[in-house]
Structure 1
Amino acid sequence: MNNKLRLLLLVLLASFVVFMAACSNDGASGDPEETPSDDPETEETPEEDEETDGLYSIEDFDHIKDDGTTIDGGELVFGLSSDTPFEGTLNWNFYSGNPDAQVLQWFDEPLLTWDENYVYTQDGAATYEIDEEDNRIWTLTIRDNVNWHDGTPVTAEDWAFAHYVIADPDYDGVRFDSSLRNIEGIVDYHNGEADEISGIEIIDEKTLRITYVQATPSLITGGVWTYPLAKHIYGDIPVEEMSSHAATRQNPIGFGPYKVDSIVPGESVSYSKYEDYWRGEPALDKVTLRVINPSVVVEELRNGGVDMVSSFPQAQFADVVDELSNITWLGNIDRAYTYIGFKLGHWDEENRVNVYDPENAKMGNKNLRQAMWHAVDNDTVGERFYHGLRWAGTTLIPPSHPEFHDATNPGRAYDPERANELLDEAGYVDVDGDGFREDPDGNELVINFASMSGDEIAEPLANYYIQAWANVGLNVQLLDGRLHEFNSFYDRVEADDPDIDIYQGAWVVGIDVDPSGLYGAEASYNYTRYVSDENNQLMTDGLSEAAFDVDYRVDVYNQWQEYMVENVPAFPTLYRAALVPVNNRVTGYAVGDGTGYFRYQVGVTEEVAESAE
């Protein structure tokens, strides 16, 4: 999709939730992250005959701020916008949520970086070489000056150790996915059938060789696990204790531009510059990360209490953009979307696979799921409440990946008449005349809807969806009659709480377009638990040798997007812009991937943050 078409879509469409402002190029790699959302400011359904003024486009914003002369040193305050504490699992090998990723990005990073097309470069802390005769074999070399914050060199053994921990049967994280399973011998090791991973070989202190089962196009765009684990710290810790150990939660270590000095659990982190950072000495002396409730983000920005925030309540943008004279707004298309997911089975922990069980799932009827998508008007939600900075989602590959996002696929447009037809066809009719449909067997149908808390518009948006579904005769009720904070929400969704029928979630998608990490049969993140032979085959085709032909791969993922529109285990509600407010004194900061700007370059031009006039 070219820029002009993106602009046209942004003006005509709209969208929903804040959770993460995309950061400089040294952020997390292609691993999915969940995050809270913020929602419309009224419980009323937007009237379609209202005037729509003040629509913005992502092209209204620069994505880099590098003006001014950086002073020596200085301190920056970063606001993590959240109504809940960060969990504090502060290691890339164990974390699962976006708030922790926001903390991690200041002190740790992947060994490989990527360009604007999400392809690995040779500019990171490690370089790579692909064997010319067998492109399944990768040789990875860590630079000599890459050291952990305690001065210990980052080694090939650390990199291999991370793979062994993730593949260990006692590992309690979510990273043992299809990408890791593509390494020769790793499944045998995981199953206890081998003492070593045959596809991982330590050549010397700084060189690691990995042999993959299959060479796939995803390998060069996120298919390599790029996060080492400090063996000199974690080597004596039992694997099942690593994620909760003090080494992860109280005294985390990395090799990024800043090192952790202190942590107030869930509330704040103090960092200081790591002078021996491999790219060069960081511009700032200190960084302070503070959790900021979304309700006070605007005031904190106005008075200079924070220099930037991880996410901004976009519904407020038009109201404050002129008054926040001390702020420069950066933006880019976000590598993310929000979605409605339907619970269709459960996770088999012993075999680490999803079990699809539509016969016993309340939401197992495809017509019901299709109808619920047709019933909601995300175009209008985005235009009325997000000023064009969020727009209706159509497929489960977002436009942040323009080569693979099928812009010709309309998804399921707002069409309550069609929703009613689908429900009638499937036998969902109002038997007792109370205005709500019973199920095809004539039993009462109450659909329990789990949604996250956030800023002041989180509840109104959830209520809008509930009302939209009520308009087509579906009795949808908030789980426990309330919203749930981020951590407890995902605890219950991940555990397949039987009280949850549908849920409203959000994903930051990987740099690689491969959707198997979110919707594959072996993906723990596949919270819908939807599995089918055709879905599996399409994902396999997208990673096949034939998929090195980009046109072939595009066609496969177009088919997959259409397949998911037809079967609707989940549907996207809103795509969005990554909108990042930064104080005018900040320089060297960029929004987006592959920008060539890194965290160590972020600096300030004045000692004190600028306040609004």
Structure 2
Amino acid sequence: MKKGKFLGSLGVVSATALTLVACGKSNNNSNEGAKKADKFPVETANKAAKQGGTIKVALESDTPFTGVFLDELQNDQPSADVSSPGQESLFDTDDNYKINDKGPATLKLDRKAKTATITIKKGVKWSDGKQVTAKDIEYAYEILANKATKSQRYSSQYAIIDGLEAYRDGKAKAISGIEMPDGENGLKVVIHCKELKPGMYNSGNGYLLESAAPYHYLKDIPFDKLESSDKVREKPLYFGPYRAQKVVRGQAVTWVPNKYYWRGKPKLDKIIIQVITTKSASQAIKSHKFDVARVVNSQWKEVKDTKKITFVAKVPLAYFYMAFKVGKWDNKTSKNVMNPKAKMSDKSLRQAMAYALNTDSVYKHYTDGLSFQVPTLIPEQFGDYFAKDNNGYSFNLKKANQILDKAGYKKKGKWRTTPEGKPLTINLLAKGNTPIDEPIVQNYIQQWAKAGLNVKLIGGRLSEFNSFYDKVQHDDPKVDVFLGGWMLSSEPSAEQLYGQGSIQNYSRFVTPENTKLLQEMDSQKAFNHQYRLDKFHEWQKYMNDQAYVVPTYNTYQIDAVNSELTGFSQKPSKMNNGHILWGNVAYAK
């Protein structure tokens, strides 16, 4: 269930940790870094591992991590990253993200019976020694669906499970579609669905959770107190390779082996994950202060020749984007509601703002060629689901001005007015993460000024990450447009991010056509691969035209890893739901 985590530091750090664009000339070698990154390995050399040792991992961030150590309530990438030594998915996958039987639990789908059967392996234990049970899986769904938790992970997709909506609406005390045939302490859960979906064979499908929550440990905490409780913030339980020994809120977590880990005792004695500022990232890498550190791409030239380091790289399943606020979330109905009178409800205005951005050249310039423009909301890594004939919004200032002229946004002095002749000021929410963000965002604003659009930063400055996140989630009325980023799940369905019933549809756009296309791409007809492809391509074309959310760029993710380490891999089959499987990492003999 990793779709839709806000990108933060370790998620995909680049020169700009949100979608920030600037005026600037691309240097002649703008693709040089990208070509180099393509040649980097996706894992460290496979060597014999030895027992013992401590590693330090840098979490590059200029703001504290929120530290919610419970997957069903976790919604930002820094928290997910700092949780990763303990947090483990129920299911393992192959390199194409298809769920297999090698993980802590197995999954069996029966289309005729409309059931998903999850069987936990005996010996999969929480870090206090208790076996993971059927109740722990049911409890995870309760945390997700109960309105008192205010989980941002909830989506109407989960209503495919019988009885889940009745539970969410307070009409039932339990989710009737979750059956535990061997009782709460058994190892089997049968989930009864209205129908099965084609994406359910893959991890990250958005219809089935891939997590469990320790019911025996958390059951006495009221749902509305769960997120703030010490058991979630300071003393979490996981069934992954490591357990949290010490949490310094917002700053550091020390992990030690989970002696009950079902795959066997992990090799390392200790993993310390510590927050450092982005300014100090390159020096930390060069001085070998950390054994694992994410390269800040704007600092690549400073670190590329560092000795005793293996640079491991990949293009992550992620993208950054510009989104326009056109509505709000209604908690009573659990639906997004559009406001037809919203300032950004005019498609022409949205399109013009997108065309005014010189995204590709600017990001290549500022990140030494390690970033690149993304044309659609379905990344190229999804193979034939990606609509390669979609060019997106390439920089075209002339076209931006023409669109605004035609739509009636007339210039009155320096700035354009609304078609009704009223002054137009557009309020921008953007986050600052590195020293170059401020000039980049100001240049961004200058780009819009060239089109006659008066865009101003909310509060007159860049927002701190947690404040940004709070304003976006809770539909701050001041926000007209915001610059965000997603870490995506490994199944391309877009319902969980852009559906009417998804809290994470932060733009709050809802149209009959969008709903229809999202439903069709996950329908029974979509078990036919070509039909599903056609619907994905239609949706990308539609979203590109409507421009409620405009993808901007992605960036190579490069980790600087101590060359004495082995088992550090970015291959999907060797990862844990998008994270390094720390149980495999060790010092080489």
Instruction: Verify same fold: TM over 0.5.
Output: yes
Distance 2:177 2:497 in 1: 25
Match in the other structure for 1:23: none
Matches within 5 A, 1:223-262: 223-262=207-246
SS of residue in 1 equivalent to 2:469? helix
Within 2, Cα distance between the matches of 1:458 and 1:49? 19
Structure 2: which amino acid aligns with 1:483? L
Residue 34 of structure 1 corresponds to 6
1:465-512 Cα deviation digits (max 9, x unpaired): 111111111111111111111101010111111111111101001111
**Inter-partner Cα distance in structure 1 for 2:198 and 2:27:** 47
Assess if the C-alpha contact under 8 Å between 1:38 and 1:457 holds in 2: no
Instruction: Determine the structure 2 residue equivalent to 1:344.
Output: 326
Distance change in 2, residues 1:44/1:534 (3 Å): closer
Task: Tell me, yes or no, if the aligned pair for 2:285 and 2:303 is still in contact at 8 Å.
Answer: no
Task: Provide the rounded CA distance (Å) in 1 between the counterparts of 2:138 and 2:367.
Answer: 45
Give the aligned residue type for 1:181.
A
SS of equivalent to 1:394:
coil
The CA deviation at 1:47 is: 2.6
- In the alignment, is the contact (CA less than 8 A) between 1:149 and 1:255 conserved in 2? yes
Task: Determine the C-alpha separation between the residues in 2 that align with 1:306 and 1:289.
Answer: 9
Deviations 1:86-118 (A, max 9, x none): 101111011111111012111121111222212
1:184 and 2:162 are equivalent in the alignment: yes
Match of 2:316 among 317, 320, 334: 334
How big is the shift at 1:595?
3.5
The equivalences for 1:116-131 within 5 A come to 116-131=95-110
Cross-structure match for 2:537: 558
* Distance in structure 2 (CA, Å) of the matches to 1:342 and 1:165: 30
Partners of 1:248 and 1:113 in 2: CA distance: 25
- The CA deviation string for residues 326-375 of structure 1, in whole angstroms up to 9 with x for no partner, is 3211111211001111011111122121111132x111110010011111
Distance 1:118 1:67, change over 3 A: closer
Cross-structure match for 2:296 = 313
Structure 2 CA distance, aligned partners of 1:84 and 1:263? Answer: 16
Contact 1:580/1:591, CA 8 A, preserved across alignment: no
Shift of 1:39: 3.8
Superposition pairs for residues 95-106 of structure 1, below 5 Å? 95-106=74-85
Question: 2:284, 2:457 → 1: CA distance?
Answer: 32
* Structure 1 residue 227: Cα displacement: 1.0
State whether residues 380 and 386 of structure 2, in contact with CA within 8 Å, keep that contact through their aligned partners in structure 1. yes
User: Is contact 1:172–1:243 with CA below 8 Å preserved after alignment?
Assistant: no
Using the TM superposition, give the Cα deviation of residue 567 of structure 1 relative to its aligned residue in structure 2, in angstroms.
0.4
Q: Deviations over 1:527-560 (max 9, x none)?
A: 1100000000000001101111111111101111
Q: Deviations over 1:230-261 (max 9, x none)?
A: 11111111111111111101111100000000
What TM-score comes out, normalization by structure 1 length?
0.90
Aligned residue for 2:482, secondary structure, equals strand
Residue of structure 1 in register with 2:61 after alignment: 82
Q: Share of identical aligned residues, percent?
A: 32
Supply the distance in 2 between the matched residues of 1:421 and 1:592 (Cα, whole angstroms).
Answer: 46
Task: Compute the RMSD of aligned alpha carbons.
Answer: 1.9
Q: Secondary structure at the match of 1:589?
A: coil
Query: Is 1:296 equivalent to 2:280 in the alignment?
Result: yes
Q: Residue 402 of structure 1 aligns to which amino acid in structure 2?
A: G
Preserved CA contact (<8 Å) 1:450 1:502: yes
Distance 1:142 1:479 in 2: 48
1:392: how far off? 0.6
Residues 453-532 of structure 1 aligned to structure 2 (within 5 Å): 453-532=432-511
Distance 1:321 1:132, change over 3 A: same
Q: Which runs of at least 4 in structure 1 moved beyond 6 Å after TM superposition?
A: 40-44
Structure 2: gaps spanning 5 or more residues: none
- C-alpha displacement of 1:61: 1.0
Partner amino acid, structure 1, of 2:162: E
Q: Distance in 2 between matches of 1:369 and 1:250?
A: 43
Task: Tell me if structure 2 keeps the 8 A contact 1:54–1:318.
Answer: no
* Alpha carbons 2:22, 2:359 under 8 Å: kept: no
- Looking at structure 1, the residues matched to 127 and 21 of structure 2 have their Cα atoms a distance apart, in angstroms, of 50
What is residue 338 of structure 2 aligned with on the other side?
356
Instruction: State how far apart, in whole Å, the 2-side matches of 1:319 and 1:429 are.
Output: 47
**Residue of structure 1 aligned with 2:353, choices 354, 362, 372:** 372
* 8 A Cα contact 2:355 2:393, kept in partner: yes
Summarize deviations over 1:371-420 as a string: whole Å, max 9, x none. 11111111201322223321111111112322312122101211111111
Counterpart Cα distance in 2 of 1:452 and 1:44:
14
Tell me if the contact between 2:16 and 2:433 (Cα under 8 Å) persists in the aligned partners: no
Larger deviation, residues 43-52 vs 327-336 = 43-52
CA contact (8 A) 2:4 2:488 kept: yes
Residue 141 of structure 1 aligns to a residue in which SS? strand
SS at match of 1:334: coil
Structure 1 position 145 matched with structure 2 position 127: no
Kept in 1: contact 2:85–2:581 (CA 8 A): no
Q: Is the 8 A contact 2:312 2:560 kept in 1?
A: yes
1:73 is the counterpart of 2:57: no
* Aligned mates of 1:218, 1:142 — CA distance in 2: 21
Distance 2:136 2:16 in 1: 46
Matches within 5 A, 1:167-206: 167-204=145-182, 205-206=186-187
Q: Which residue of 1 is the match for residue 399 of structure 2?
A: 418
Which residue matches 2:71?
A: 92
SS in 1 for 2:530: helix
Q: Distance in 2 between matches of 1:539 and 1:296?
A: 43
Task: State the alpha-carbon separation in 1 of the partners of residues 21 and 239 from structure 2.
Answer: 47
Distance verdict in 2 for CA 1:535–1:181, change over 3 Å: same
The match for 2:268 is: 284
Deviates more, 1:275-284 or 1:97-106: 275-284
Structure 2 counterpart SS, 1:556: helix
1:448 & 1:410 partners in 2: Cα distance? 27
Show the counterpart of 1:430: 411
In 1, the alpha carbon distance for the partners of 2:27 and 2:572 equals: 39
- Distance change (3 Å), C-alpha of 1:568 and 1:296: same
Distance (whole Å) between structure 1 residues aligned to residue 316 and residue 439 of structure 2: 23
CA deviation profile, 1:299-350 (whole Å, cap 9, x unmatched): 11111211112x321122134202x123211111211001111011111122
For 1:211 and 1:189, locate their aligned partners in 2 and report how far apart those are by CA, in whole Å: 15
The one-letter code of the counterpart of 1:193 is: K
Question: 1:387 & 1:591 partners in 2: Cα distance?
Answer: 22
Give the drift of 1:178.
Answer: 2.9
Which residue in the other structure is 1:164 paired with? 142
Distance change in 2, residues 1:225/1:357 (3 Å): same
Matched to 2:582, the amino acid is R
Q: Which residue of 2 aligns with 1:270?
A: 254
Report how many residues are paired.
572
Distance (whole Å) between structure 1 residues aligned to residue 582 and residue 67 of structure 2: 21
Cα offset for 1:68? 4.0
Task: Specify every segment of 5 or more residues in structure 1 that has no aligned partner in the other structure, as ranges.
Answer: 1-28, 607-613
Q: CA deviation at 1:164?
A: 2.0
Deviations 1:165-184 (A, max 9, x none): 32223221122213321101
Partner residue, 1:8: none
Q: Could you state the TM-score of these two structures normalised by the residue count of structure 2?
A: 0.94
